[in-house]
Structure 1
Amino acid sequence: MAIVAVVAHSLWGQPVGGFVGIDIFLVLSGYLVTAALLRGGKHSKTMAVGHFLWGRTLRIVPAATVVLLLTYIAALLVLPQTRAEQVGIDAVLAAVFAANWHFAFLGADQFAGPISASPLLHFWALSVGEQFWLAWPLVILAAAMIAAALAWSQARKTALVAGAAGILVVASLAWSLSSSANAPDWAYFNTFARVWELGVGALLATAAGFLARTPALVKPLLSWAGVAIIVASLFVINETTVGYPAPWALLPVVGAALVIAAGIGGEPAFQPLLRNRVSTYLGDLAFALFLVYWPVIVLLAALMHGSVYHYASVLCLTFGLALLLHHAIEKPLRHASREKIRDGMRAMEHGLLHIERATKVALVAGLVLVTLALVSYAMRPDALEPAAGITIVQAR
């Protein structure tokens, strides 16, 4: 639901607060990262930080790198030279997960339209998440070492992590409130003004044992309350709202926290909105969609007017590329060990690589959607006209 809101807002400007889907992404990331680290710590005296970072690297870096490279190549082809060169700089900073600080120092307008914005502007959120993922495991590792030295139980160790997360949330939220009031553009990209959202997710992970005992009748109430708050935030918050990211981001953050809490220990009943195959698959596809949606919107804005052909091209290309990225790169590497990667490469060399039928169908569907996007582009009424305000790059 969050990624759909983000894409719709970026393409049509509706819902007006669709950009808060990023806040939901941050909360969910904080929860998943902390939950994974705490699970790893149950089987050893220290957290399996190396294993975790390897998994995150395989999950994030290959897919992100492909998008960065393709976006830069496409920018060279369709954008003016100076703007394309800037995209190259943006790509380098995004590759080292410093995009948020880069755009903050540039004074980038987070709500700039696709005609002027960087096609890699959205990488600021991934950079904030990665900075958290690099630092937070060390905090949990320190907690594990303290707990081991004092012979503490798993429960006391988790409580120590919860205390650290609580301090993080309070300190970051206070900073965010101050920054949002005095320098909102800076606060938007600032890691320290955003990390409280990840911290809320971390707190949920530390409370998983308690939340898993939530009565079955209460779970759907929590879930629907969370959905209602999220939906409200999509229409209450807009690009001119004073006090964003704090305090207004509390709305989607609290909503996301309630939905996550309701799903711990078993999915809530009576929740068809989130418990259906379409929602589940979109959730699996969310990261790939997040990576490709904004480059597609920005680059096609340089080639097409806002017509039905433009929207069809954007949607087909976005979902087509996301399918290809998810099933060809992200999913195969998500849980791959070094041994599995080596075995897979050997199988490819000998033509013995097995591809599941569902993956083949998804890849074909992705290629079909990309083809439809090209057809829609070719059928556009302004085929021989440059988009307003855009200079077509001449071959040299």
Structure 2
Amino acid sequence: MKLAYRPEIDGLRTIAVLAVIAYHLEVVLGGMQLLKGGFLGVDIFFVISGFLITSIIMSEYHSPQGFSLGNFYERRARRLLPALFTVILFSFPVAWYLLLPSQLEDFAKSVLSTLAFGSNFYWHIGLQEYGAESAQLKPLLHTWTLAIEEQYYIFFPLILLTIYKWCKSHTVTILLALLLLSLQFAVYITPIDHSFSFYMLPTRFWELLTGSLLANILYYHPKAKNDTLLKKAMPFIGLFLIIHSLFFVDFESNHPGFITLLPVLGTALIIWFGNRDELFTKVLSSKLFVGIGLISYSLYLWHYPIFAFGRIIESTPTWQNKVLWLLLTFAFSLASYVLVEQPFRNKRVIKIKLFLLTSAFMTAFISLTAFSMMETGKAQEIDIKAEMHKRLIWGDGFEVCQPIRETDTLDHRGCNTPADKKNILIVGDSMAPDATRIVGNAFPNFRYIISNCGGCAPMTPKQAAETRHPERFKKISKIRYSKDALKGIDGVIIMTLMADPRYIEAYVKHLKNNGMSNVIIFGNYIKVKDKVSDYYLKHNNQKSVEKLVKNNLFTAEKFINYDTLMVSIAKKYSIDFVSIKNDACSNDSDCPIFIADKPFSWDKHHYSVEFSRHLSKAMKESLFNTWLGSL
């Protein structure tokens, strides 16, 4: 069977790519995001890819020349690699100029993972949440979809050829079974590990297989045999399913899963029953839709790095910024389609030897450049890491007991609690050491016992079981809530980074129920979206760093609201609340960023040693007015 060109499929590509672009552009109308389900455009692409790839394999397999795996991989490489290389090359100088050291290292790693067809693994491990705010600043995040398709291109032909060789008559049944297994796995794993489900091939396999299954069905049952009524109705039903999903499905849905059936089945119905006499097929086959569809791959490649670099330059983009990004995306995409995609896909223009040599050279050059960027980013951070390590050296002229390293269960019962010293228990997440240095410098005659755990605020074992790290958090929670936890303790100080107020209230209630009335809750200071050390390395001018920090604060309102909630808990249980911001800042907008030529933090929120010592002096009077002053 000769593989006929179907212009409406290019039209479907247009819908898919414009939906993805609109979603990433974050167009808001009337206070609502336009196409909040635009991320599902990727799933439309997956179905189209599965259909076209399988159609090509089947057409060649049944031709007199037969199917050549080498030729298949060559065509896929010609289709994907030249434009991808071009986007990466253009991104290098922009990344070098704009990105901070840690961002540059991250970008270089993402380049290498992209070249290895494994960026979905990289983003699953390193980023986790696709919808997170930081994801918008990752120029090559979108390559996870290419990785899935590339992995599919590598393995699926081998699977299909094996089926054809041993059980060809059961092809549809086997593909359907694999599809259903993959869909069921996605439905099962998405609530458990959304990152894995989102980025990995096993949970996306069924979407590509939908297209592959459809290709097999249409090969053995051509559209001419389909019912006329179905050919009229099904494309419109498919259109409805796609439009509904793009407008009304949001990212918080259990996707991929049953909800993803909407765009997947919608795409399949349009491909299956689309015909020249049907209105919607005519629209999809129009010059405008086909024209955008032809450059859809370049549009997809270019839009995300342009948007990401744009947001790095302007963190709160205006609609004028977004229009400019859009124009640049179309301009670069059209240029790369004409100058790169078309020539490299033409075997008569770019011979196989030249293509292989060019690809090998580009792979080597891009890899070496990425390694160089990565090492540059690392080298710049060496001195900063030494500064950051200083805050984890306990004891600053006062006695500190940290029985076991931070990542283990910190059972303070392993410390001696002599009667001749007052013992203060510091409980919190990774901010607890900062509280220890603040209080310890103000009251050096006390003995301090640290119960800290990265990301683990004081919470009940039941609450810990519902977190992302249940086993680790339950372990320390059981110790914190044990009957001997407060033995020999004269007072408790709680410090966390904006923990869930329910956790703090439950722990305070536990302390009060067990006779501990000497309790202080510390407020928060500020948090920055990027590492302060990156600003420090990139712009060693103190005023520039201060400006960058103040322009990139992480939702200051949330910190104010958190402190307000902590005050209400303190009043409810008759304990003390000490505000760090009130003593550190002269007003809400004038909070010190540098102390003794050192920033308040080397990362995003943990205090530098110099800043903790400064806070100890600034907060001494407030601390003295609590029970600490009367011990």
TM range (shorter): 0.7 to 0.9
Q: 1:341 aligns with which of 350, 356, 374?
A: 350
TM-score by length of 2: 0.51
Residue of structure 1 equivalent to 2:288: 278
Distance 1:125 1:14 in 2: 22
Distance 2:178 2:353 in 1: 41
Matches within 5 A, 1:100-111: 100-111=120-131
Distance 2:294 2:39 in 1: 20
Q: Which amino acid aligns with 1:141?
A: L
Distance 1:297 1:184 in 2: 25
CA deviations on 1:100-139 (whole Å, 9 max, x unpaired) are 1111111432112467541111111111011001101112
Given that 1:114 and 1:297 are in contact with CA atoms closer than 8 Å, whether structure 2 keeps it comes out as no
Residue of structure 2 equivalent to 1:5: 19
Matches within 5 A, 1:204-219: 204-209=214-219, 210-213=221-224, 214-219=226-231
The question of 1:295 aligning with 2:305 is answered: yes
Change (3 A) 1:232 1:106: same
- Asked which structure has the greater RCO (Cα within 8 Å, sep 6+), the reply is 1
Residue of structure 2 equivalent to 1:180: 190
The question of 1:311 aligning with 2:331 is answered: no
The Cα shift of 1:344 comes to 12
Residue of structure 2 equivalent to 1:79: 99
Given that 1:45 and 1:144 are in contact with CA atoms closer than 8 Å, whether structure 2 keeps it comes out as no
Distance 1:308 1:176 in 2: 37
Q: Which amino acid aligns with 2:24?
A: S
The question of 1:240 aligning with 2:256 is answered: no
The question of 1:21 aligning with 2:41 is answered: yes
Distance 1:333 1:220 in 2: 39
SS at match of 1:15: coil
Given that 1:91 and 1:120 are in contact with CA atoms closer than 8 Å, whether structure 2 keeps it comes out as yes
The question of 1:112 aligning with 2:132 is answered: yes
Given that 1:222 and 1:262 are in contact with CA atoms closer than 8 Å, whether structure 2 keeps it comes out as yes
The Cα shift of 1:164 comes to 3.2
Distance 1:4 1:133 in 2: 24
Matches within 5 A, 1:352-367: none
Distance 1:22 1:289 in 2: 13
Q: Which amino acid aligns with 2:21?
A: V
The question of 1:98 aligning with 2:98 is answered: no
Distance 2:195 2:25 in 1: 22
Change (3 A) 1:90 1:34: same
The Cα shift of 1:230 comes to 0.3
The question of 1:49 aligning with 2:69 is answered: yes
SS at match of 1:248: helix
CA deviations on 1:304-326 (whole Å, 9 max, x unpaired) are 34123301210111001110111
Residue of structure 2 equivalent to 1:389: 552
The question of 1:193 aligning with 2:203 is answered: yes
SS at match of 2:176: helix
Residue of structure 2 equivalent to 1:269: 278
Distance 1:45 1:302 in 2: 52
SS at match of 2:313: coil
The question of 1:259 aligning with 2:270 is answered: yes
CA deviations on 1:41-64 (whole Å, 9 max, x unpaired) are 012585221111110010011111
Distance 1:234 1:342 in 2: 41
Q: Which amino acid aligns with 1:328?
A: L
SS at match of 1:250: helix
Given that 1:27 and 1:257 are in contact with CA atoms closer than 8 Å, whether structure 2 keeps it comes out as yes
The question of 1:327 aligning with 2:338 is answered: yes
CA deviations on 1:335-379 (whole Å, 9 max, x unpaired) are x22x5424998xxxxxxxxxxxxxxxxxxxxxxxxxxxxxxxxxx
RMSD: 2.3
The Cα shift of 1:240 comes to 1.6
Given that 2:137 and 2:312 are in contact with CA atoms closer than 8 Å, whether structure 1 keeps it comes out as no
Q: Which amino acid aligns with 2:34?
A: Q
The question of 1:226 aligning with 2:238 is answered: yes
The Cα shift of 1:283 comes to 1.0
Q: Which amino acid aligns with 1:292?
A: W
Given that 1:219 and 1:268 are in contact with CA atoms closer than 8 Å, whether structure 2 keeps it comes out as no
Change (3 A) 1:15 1:219: same
The Cα shift of 1:80 comes to 1.2
Q: Where does the alignment leave 5 or more consecutive residues of structure 1 unmatched?
A: 148-156, 346-384, 391-396
Distance 1:235 1:130 in 2: 29
CA deviations on 1:187-210 (whole Å, 9 max, x unpaired) are 101110111100000000001132
Given that 1:107 and 1:186 are in contact with CA atoms closer than 8 Å, whether structure 2 keeps it comes out as no
Change (3 A) 1:330 1:187: same
* Larger mean Cα displacement after TM superposition, 246-255 or 324-333: 324-333
CA deviations on 1:218-269 (whole Å, 9 max, x unpaired) are 323211111110000012210222x211011111101111111123xx4352
Which structure: greater helix fraction? 1
Q: Where does the alignment leave 5 or more consecutive residues of structure 2 unmatched?
A: 1-14, 27-32, 355-546, 554-631
Given that 1:47 and 1:140 are in contact with CA atoms closer than 8 Å, whether structure 2 keeps it comes out as no
Given that 2:137 and 2:311 are in contact with CA atoms closer than 8 Å, whether structure 1 keeps it comes out as no
Change (3 A) 1:182 1:211: farther
Given that 1:72 and 1:91 are in contact with CA atoms closer than 8 Å, whether structure 2 keeps it comes out as no
Change (3 A) 1:77 1:320: same
Distance 1:44 1:140 in 2: 19
Given that 2:214 and 2:268 are in contact with CA atoms closer than 8 Å, whether structure 1 keeps it comes out as yes
Q: 1:66 aligns with which of 86, 89, 95?
A: 86
Given that 2:343 and 2:349 are in contact with CA atoms closer than 8 Å, whether structure 1 keeps it comes out as no
Distance 2:352 2:245 in 1: 47
Distance 1:40 1:129 in 2: 20
For these two proteins, the number of residue pairs brought into alignment is: 336
Give the structure with higher Rg (CA): 2
Distance 2:213 2:158 in 1: 16
* Larger mean Cα displacement after TM superposition, 69-78 or 214-223: 214-223
Distance 1:388 1:8 in 2: 26
Distance 1:114 1:255 in 2: 32
Given that 2:137 and 2:308 are in contact with CA atoms closer than 8 Å, whether structure 1 keeps it comes out as yes
The question of 1:40 aligning with 2:64 is answered: no
Distance 1:270 1:222 in 2: 12
Change (3 A) 1:160 1:121: same
Residue of structure 1 equivalent to 2:108: 88
Distance 2:276 2:92 in 1: 41
Percent identity (aligned): 25
